[in-house]
Structure formats: C-alpha cells, structure tokens
Amino acid sequence: MIIFYINIILLFLLVITAIAINQQDNLFATTMLTGIFGLLSASLFVCLDAVDVAFTEASVGAGIALILFLGTLSLIKYKKQINNRVSTFGLLIVIITGSFLIYGLQDIPAFGKPENPVQIYLADKYIVESKKEIGIPNLVTSVLASYRGFDTLGEVAVIFTAGIGVLMLLGRGRHNYKGIVSREKS
Amino acid sequence: MEHHLVLSVVARILIPLIMLFALYVQFHGDYGPGGGFQAGVIFASSFILYGIIYGIKNLREVVHPSFIRSLAAFGVLIYISVGVVAIFNGGEFLNYNLLSENPVTGQHIGIMFIELGVGITVASTMIILFYAFARP
C-alpha cells in the first residue's frame, strides 16, 4: 500500500516538473528541470519493479542527455524569445487532441490485471522456460539479448546511425574546428 | 578548468571508480540489472567527466576522434560476427545454441559477446556525440 502512495507522490511531482518546464523562459533552467524529470521517471520505474528501465532512464535521461543539452547551450544563445500571445487556433487543436486521447484511454486495459494481453501472450513461456533454455537469472537480459536478438541488433544499428548522422552534421574535423558553428566572441 | 583544484582531485579519484562500475554493470548484466547499453553510457560518462574537468583538447589526445569512430563500427561488427559464427556452425543467424557443444553454454557465450558489442558501440557513440557538441 505504501508503494501506491509513493507512486501517487512521484506522479504528482512529475506533473509539477512538466508544468515548470513549460513555464520557463530560460533554456538553462529548462535543461536542469528536464534532468529532474528524468530522475523522477527513473524512481517511478523502480517503484514499478522495472529496474533495468530505471537504470537506463537514470543514466541516459538524467545523465548523458543533460550533458549534451548543456553542450548545445554553450554553442547557442540560451535566452528564449518570450512570446506571450495566446493562439486560439493552437488552443483549439490542443483541446481536440486532448479529448481524443482521453477518449482513447477507455480502451486501454486496466493497470496490472492478470488477464491483460501483455501477460497472457508470451510472458509465461519466458518466465517458465528461460531458466532452462538460456540459464541466466536476469529475465530482461535473456529476452533482450537472446529471444529478441534481432531487435537489439536493430537498436545498436540505430545508435550507430545516430552517431554517424551527428558526425555528418556537426563533425568539425576537416575545417580545424571552425567554420560550421558561428558564435559571438565571448 | 584545470585551476579548480578540488574538482580535478575529486575527478581523479572518481574516474577509475566510474569505469570499474561500468565494467561491473557490463559483465554482471546476466545476474542483476544492467547490460551493455547502461554500461556503455556509464563508461562514456567517465570520459566526458575527464573532458569537462581537464578540457576537450586533452581528451582528444587521450581518445583520438578517428579511433573512437572506428570503435563504434567495431561494436556493431562484434554483434554481427556472433550471428555469422552461428551460421557457420550450422544454425540460423544469432542462434547462440550452436556456439558451443552445450546449448546453455552457447547462450552464455553469445549473450556475453553481443552485450560487449552493444557496450562498445554505445560508449563510443556517446563520446562521438560529446565531441560533436562540446565547445573545443
């Protein structure tokens, strides 16, 4: 029962952080709040017993992503143009999309029910047989690396491609670190 | 930032510990939470910490950008080679059962090597991204 209240508090803090991110004018503060958001999501994943996901979220969402954001901020001016004008058309689109999302929520299966599709399809096969077939205690690793080996290969290829893409756009190797990003002299 | 004495001393103590923890996460991923992806990110963060404290120029001398680029490709190559070795042993692509006489040992070997490939690619890609974004 205490986990339930911790979940409620964490979700509440997540909403507060999201609103605070939305209200900021300063991109530096937004970046820091994004890191807090990542850390809160990681704590929520720990409460949901998804420790591997929490680990990833803590190291990527609250760690590396923050550093890359800060690196980008050091390359640009980080005071956002303040625009307080309320657009009626945008508000209308947001309200319509939001009502569709809330309508769609009715078809989502209830949280944690044993007869949910995610529990009845392959989960029991993995839980029962992975100890015999793969022989390692961490079920997440055996699903990711063995049963879903192709998917993980695809993920590694995606990360590699992302690195190549950033290098093609920002790799300042040939111009002796000059010429692509122009900055004011500080 | 070399003139910040406290930062540079603390970083000198922390960097080996971060690397050790990354290796623990990498090779203990079969038994506890973790695996190649998380380990790669943590390993890269030790280099990024070095770059922040001692300057990007020094980091470029420690890990040369062209070396780290080929390392990123090398990780993917390890992953694919495990699959190809399984084909040569008479199975399907990425069928680890055929990597050894005993299927369970084969699974252990296969998972260890592909996690190593994932870790190498992720760590070097994160360092590549840091090089691209950080101000030289």
The larger pLDDT score, comparing residue A77 to residue A116, is at A116
Give B51-105 pLDDT, tens digit per residue: 989 888 899 999 998 899 999 999 999 999 999 999 998 888 888 888 888 888 8
Query: Are residues A3 and A77 both part of a single domain?
Result: yes
Query: Are residues A62 and A130 both part of a single domain?
Result: no
From the list B45, B83, B122, which residue is nearest A159 (CB)? B122
Give the Å distances, CA to CA, from B120 to B29, B50, B112: 15, 18, 12
Which ipTM score applies to this complex? 0.89
Query: Are residues A183 and A130 both part of a single domain?
Result: yes
| Angle, alpha carbons A162-A167-A172 (nearest 5°) | 160
What pLDDT is stored for residue A173 in this prediction? 54
Among candidate residues A82, A106, A131, the one where a domain is terminated: A82
How would residue A152 be classed by pLDDT, with cut points 50, 70 and 90? very high
- Asked whether residue A75 is domain-assigned, the answer is yes
- Asked whether residue A9 is domain-assigned, the answer is yes
- Asked whether residue A105 is domain-assigned, the answer is no
Chain B residues closer than 8 Å to A51 by CB = 33
pLDDT at residue A176 tops 70: no
Query: Are residues A75 and A144 both part of a single domain?
Result: no
Give A84-117 pLDDT, tens digit per residue: 677 889 899 999 999 999 999 888 888 778 888 8
Distance between CA atoms of B128 and B68, rounded to whole angstroms? Answer: 7
From the list A55, A72, A144, which residue is nearest B133 (CB)? A72
Query: Are residues A67 and A6 both part of a single domain?
Result: yes
Query: Are residues A67 and A129 both part of a single domain?
Result: no
Among candidate residues A82, A104, A131, the one where a domain is terminated: A82
Query: Are residues A77 and A120 both part of a single domain?
Result: no
**Cβ pair B45:A170 closer than 8 A:** no
Domain that holds residue A147: 114-186
- Asked whether residue A186 is domain-assigned, the answer is yes
What pLDDT is stored for residue A19 in this prediction? 93
pLDDT at residue A44 tops 60: yes
Q: Out of A16-20, A98-102, A166-170, B48-52, pick the least confident.
A: A166-170
Per the structure, the count of domains in chain A is 2
The chain-wide mean pLDDT, for chain A, equals 84
- Asked whether residue A87 is domain-assigned, the answer is no
- Asked whether residue A139 is domain-assigned, the answer is yes
- Asked whether residue A132 is domain-assigned, the answer is yes
Query: Are residues A8 and A73 both part of a single domain?
Result: yes
**Cβ pair B110:A156 closer than 8 A:** no
How would residue B34 be classed by pLDDT, with cut points 50, 70 and 90? confident
Q: Which of A94-98, A117-121, A124-128 has the highest mean pLDDT?
A: A94-98
Query: Are residues A5 and A78 both part of a single domain?
Result: yes
Chain A residues closer than 8 Å to B33 by CB = 51-52, 54-55, 138, 140
The nearest alpha carbon in chain B to A146 belongs to: B111
- Residues A162-178: what's their mean pLDDT? 72
Query: Are residues A73 and A12 both part of a single domain?
Result: yes
**Touching B: A residues 88-147, CB under 8 Å:** 133-138, 140-142, 144-146
**Cβ pair B126:A64 closer than 8 A:** yes
- Asked whether residue A106 is domain-assigned, the answer is no
CATH no. for residue A4? 1.20.120.1200
